Amino acid sequence: MEMRRRQPIGVELVKRGIVTEKDIDQALEYQREHTDKRLGDILHILNVCDSQVLIENIGDILGVKGILLTGDTLKIKPTEYLTLEICKNYKCIPFEVSNGKIKVCFTDRINNGKTNSVKMLLLNKGLVMEQYITFEHDIERILSTLEGESSGDISKTSSNGTIIELVDSIIKTGMEKRASDIHIEPLTDEVRVRYRIDGELFTIAKIPKEKQAQVIGRLKAISNMHQEKQEAQDGRILLYDDYNIRVSSQPNVCGEKFVLRLLKKNEDIRNVFELGYPGTEEEFKKNFNKKNSITIIAAPTGAGKTTTLYSIVDYLNTSEINITTIEDPVEIRINGLNQIEVGNKSTFSGALRTVLRQDPDIILLGEIRDHETAEIAIQAGQTGHYVLSTIHTIDAIEVINRMRKMGLSDYDIASTLATTVSQRLVRTVCPNCKKEREFTEDEKKKIKKILDKYGEKADLDNIKTYDTIGCEKCNGIGYYGRIGIFETLDVSDEIKELIVKGASTIEIRNKALEQNYRPLVVDGIYKVLKGYTTFDELNRQLILY
């Protein structure tokens, strides 16, 4: 809780006779080597005075009650009132409950917005929060203890169960928490387990170093990997009825790291509009129901390109159309499609040559990676097929540059490229704990500036946004699930002419902006204004300011 004060806290403490100038000099010397530590915490660590007196005076200076957090003052189990994730995110510890009131201590770094979020969360549980501050060092010590306890079945199994039970517990807990990936990482003195949930990594457990070899052995056994090889390997786990788990191992200086990608079997394909695709159904049909052309989806790894491709193909899939997909690997199986998996003995380009002899109407090509694949895809588009694929690049217009760098001619690009789409994923506000509020004047100013730049308008005075609070449903994060933000370039005749002339992407962008092209940020702003996500989350993805 940063608050205004007339004098630096060290000066105030010297004035009160709590510490000496020599103590402050010693603390500042310590701070030069530990720049992340605050002065109050350093004085506590150096034990230059009574810690109880020190924190009480720091609290008095800041205008908040100060308390020394010890085993005696911690009278409740904090995670019975706030999840571990909330305690970690907000650096707070509930330590006492009495007569409908709950005492919660924060570090002196916390801001009022976050304390208010915790206050609202506890109020929803019928508890009025009394705010305290304590040393960050003590909060981190207690959080470390809670982290060890919170791993639940994983920690208990790590201590008391077999390695088979431990690995099974790690995987099943990941499924329960909606993890897309599980990272099992050997470190210097422990093995860390992290889950990626809605695009973010969270530490969930730490396994003793002495169990590392057994955990790795078990993972290799169930992934059908070579036990004796300490080199990068790929495998699969097929032990769980509802999941197909892809496994990748990679040696590092502390051992072999494993990443498990959890792919749910028979998962329903989401409608493309449910994914967040803007526009009407008529506009969608115009952009994606074509022949003799190519549609490219562009985005970084993990930004949902494949999911969007599946949704488009599922929308176009009818009994009158022959659709073939070439993927590495096939992530979701769709009834009615001919799905081909590229393996060690085949390539995208080789599989594509074969597919062209199978009378396809639509070809989904997992990724255009090189000149050979790009050239065959162009030929397929020029001979009556509709090709959908992905490319790694930053936005819809840079797809043109990327194809040029792959060695394709401007004529070939202009004659076949019909639509390019770029996308990102932003986390959506948890519906269970979100708190409505008005936009701040600073947010309004930034949003208006972005919309004005692209000729868009919005009445910001009559639109609400949300604060993210955190609850058990969202693991204390405040966000639950993700939605796409999109930009679509319709390669019009005017843009085709520019491509043939070898125009730069700047010239192409300017022409596109004169037509119906709007960049990612515009769709992102509208998703914020509709309450799907927050301005902070949009900025985290696109770096707006």
Q: Is 235 found in the same domain as 382?
A: no
Tokens of 267: 């998962």
User: What is the full per-residue pLDDT of the chain (545 aa) written as tens digits?
Assistant: 344 445 688 888 999 899 999 989 898 988 888 888 888 888 988 888 988 899 999 999 888 999 998 877 888 888 888 878 788 888 899 999 988 899 999 987 766 677 888 888 888 788 999 999 999 888 888 887 776 555 555 655 665 568 888 999 999 999 988 899 999 999 999 999 999 999 888 888 889 999 999 999 999 999 999 988 888 999 989 888 888 899 999 999 999 999 999 988 766 778 888 899 998 888 888 888 777 899 999 988 888 888 898 898 888 888 888 999 988 777 777 788 898 888 767 788 888 888 888 889 999 988 888 898 899 889 888 888 999 999 989 899 999 999 999 999 999 999 999 999 999 999 999 998 888 899 999 999 999 999 999 999 888 888 999 988 877 788 778 899 999 999 999 999 999 999 999 999 999 999 999 998 999 999 999 999 999 999 999 998 898 87
Compute the distance between CA of residue 441 and CA of residue 480 in angstroms, rounded to an integer: 27
Percent of the chain with pLDDT over 70: 94
CATH number (domain holding residue 103) = 3.30.300.160
Q: Which of 382, 323, 373 is nearest to 352 (CA)?
A: 373
CATH number (domain holding residue 481) = 3.40.50.300
Q: Is 444 found in the same domain as 387?
A: yes
Q: Is 482 found in the same domain as 513?
A: yes
User: Which one of 92, 121, 146 terminates a domain?
Assistant: 146
- Residue 419 pairs in a beta bridge with 295, 490
Report DSSP letters for 435-489, one per residue.
Answer: EEEEPPHHHHHHHHHHHHHTT----GGG-EEEE----TTTTTSSEEEEEEEEEEE
Contacts of 292 (CB under 8 A, 6+ apart): 381, 382, 383, 384, 385, 386, 416
User: Which one of 146, 178, 202 terminates a domain?
Assistant: 146
Q: How many domains does the chain have?
A: 3
In a domain, 3, yes or no: no
Half-sphere exposure at residue 368, Cβ-oriented, CA atoms within 13 angstroms: 31
Report DSSP letters for 17-71, one per residue.
Answer: TSS-HHHHHHHHHHHHH-TTS-HHHHHHHHT-S-HHHHHHHHHHHHTSEE----T
Q: Is 111 found in the same domain as 17?
A: yes
Taking the CB of residue 113, how many other CB atoms lie within 10 A of it? 9
| Domain range for 213 | 151-264
In a domain, 272, yes or no: no
- Crossing angle between the packed helical segments 520-529 and 441-453, to the nearest 10 degrees: 140
Compute the distance between CA of residue 396 and CA of residue 298 in angstroms, rounded to an integer: 6
Residue 476 near residue 122, CB atoms below 8 Å? no
CA Rg, the chain, in Å? 28
Residue listed under structure tokens 């004005």: 452
In a domain, 493, yes or no: yes
Q: Is 336 found in the same domain as 259?
A: no
User: Which one of 146, 171, 190 terminates a domain?
Assistant: 146
Q: Is 135 found in the same domain as 218?
A: no
How do beta strands 190-197 and 181-186 pair?
antiparallel
Compute the distance between CA of residue 95 and CA of residue 357 in angstroms, rounded to an integer: 70
Q: Is 289 found in the same domain as 251?
A: no
Q: Is 168 found in the same domain as 294?
A: no
Q: Is 321 found in the same domain as 230?
A: no
Query: Residue 376 belongs to what H/E stretch?
Result: helix 371-382
In a domain, 441, yes or no: yes
